[in-house]
Amino acid sequence: MTYSTDHRVNDLVLTIINDGDGKQCGMDYSTRCDEAITGRDLFISACRAYDRYSREFYGSPKATREQIIAAADIVQAYYRQHVTEIETTKGQA
């Protein structure tokens, strides 16, 4: 997985990946897997949702549009690879 040199982007990325039930980002694990290929707008929405959540509950600084998009692209790429690995593993079983 690729990380950013921007700590806010990394916060968005790592929290969304670890937000199993989607409480913080509004997108649960199964939806993230289902939308890995075509759901870029949903990943952007998840980043925006977590940005709002983190500002409200943690006092985090507001992410810029560029940070949101960068994080969404990294998260989507992560799930594309994750889904591919799952499918490859199933094919080997």
What are the boundaries of each domain within the chain? 7-92
Compute the distance between CA of residue 35 and CA of residue 79 in angstroms, rounded to an integer: 8
pLDDT above 90: residue 92: no
Q: What is the pLDDT of residue 93?
A: 61
Q: Which of 90, 87, 4 is nearest to 47 (CA)?
A: 4
Give exposure, 74-93, as e/b (b: 16+ Cβ within 10 Å).
bbbebbeebbeeeeeeeeee
Mean of the per-residue pLDDT values for the chain?
A: 95
Mean pLDDT of 74-91: 92
Q: Residues with Cβ < 8 Å from 54, sequence gap 6 or more?
A: 11, 15, 24, 60
Q: What is the pLDDT of residue 2?
A: 77
Q: What is the pLDDT of residue 78?
A: 97
Q: What is the pLDDT of residue 35?
A: 95
Do 51 and 63 form a contact (C-beta atoms < 8 A)?
yes
Q: What is the pLDDT of residue 90?
A: 82
Do 7 and 16 form a contact (C-beta atoms < 8 A)?
no
Span 20-42, pLDDT tens digits:
999 999 999 999 999 999 999 99
